[in-house]
Amino acid sequence: MTVIRAIVTDIEGTTSSISFVKDVLFPYARKRLPAYVETHVDRPEVQHWLHEAAKEAGLVEASRQEIIELLQRWIDEDRKSTALKALQGMIWKDGYEAGDYRAHLYPEVAARLHAWRGDGLHLYVYSSGSVPAQKLFFQYSEAGDLTPMFAGYFDTETGPKRESASYEKIAEAIGELPQHLLFLSDISEELDAAKAAGFHTAWLLRPPLTVPDEPHHPAYTDFDAITL
């Protein structure tokens, strides 16, 4: 008999809509970036990341305005830049704390996470957003602070989400054999990688998506439908 001891969940498209990140968080950072940089330019970490961004772009003598425009262009291109991620993270933190938005969750998610915890399961997050961004996301969710629910967080520092080695590392960090772990995601390639590492998988296909005739993974439209 299968014994699931811990669940590792993706965020975007799984616990939450992709559009919250795309249509709320990214435009917010883009809009706030110039004012944020101007008002926080004395902070050493802001200085540091502006400098890193300029360096990454190969700009030797860039004005503050040029760096801001560069960063906004990177947001539009969804560029994977550590400097951009760090600055966005600071801006999003301000936005969460100011109550400008709360992280979206599909309606059944919080109660189901509670229920799984009640059953003694340990819960983890694995998302391409940075670990600090994941923590903010669940701290300021529509269902309140869910961070006490999670035992740990993983991001792409552990490895790419479509490579099985990443899931092997996660299993090792959790301290459970992969056959006791369940990975939840909306992306079949991520589930393929998790399965190759020995995880159980659950494919979240949120409406209006539909379950294909022969899904490669057990497929569900919401968390309540998942059978352990």
What gap in Å lies between CA 133 and CA 121, rounded to an integer? 24
Q: Which is nearer to Mg ion, 12 or 155 (CB)?
A: 12
Window contacting Mg ion (CB under 5 A); options: 82-90, 91-99, 181-189, 198-206: 181-189
Q: Which residues contact 55 (CB under 8 A, 6 or more apart)?
A: none
What gap in Å lies between CA 64 and CA 120, rounded to an integer? 51
Binding mask 2-21 for Mg ion (x = CB under 5 A): --------x-xx--------
Compute the least distance from the CB of residue 187 to Mg ion, in Å: 5
Q: Which of 34, 36, 32 is nearest to 45 (CA)?
A: 36
Q: Is 186 in the site for Mg ion (CB under 5 A)?
A: yes
What gap in Å lies between CA 57 and CA 101, rounded to an integer? 31
Compute the least distance from the CB of residue 226 to Mg ion, in Å: 16
Q: Which is nearer to Mg ion, 13 or 159 (CB)?
A: 13
DSSP helix/strand/coil, 120: coil
| Amino acid in the structure at residue 193 | A
Window contacting Mg ion (CB under 5 A); options: 34-42, 103-111, 179-187, 204-212: 179-187
Q: Which is nearer to Mg ion, 168 or 186 (CB)?
A: 186
DSSP helix/strand/coil, 123: strand
DSSP helix/strand/coil, 124: strand
Beta bridge partners of 124: 8, 152
Q: Which is nearer to Mg ion, 155 or 186 (CB)?
A: 186
Q: Which is nearer to Mg ion, 15 or 81 (CB)?
A: 15
How big is the CA angle at 14 (ends 107 and 135), to the nearest 5 degrees?
85
Q: Is 155 in the site for Mg ion (CB under 5 A)?
A: no
Window contacting Mg ion (CB under 5 A); options: 20-28, 58-66, 182-190, 220-228: 182-190
Site of interaction with Mg ion (CB under 5 A): 10, 12-13, 186
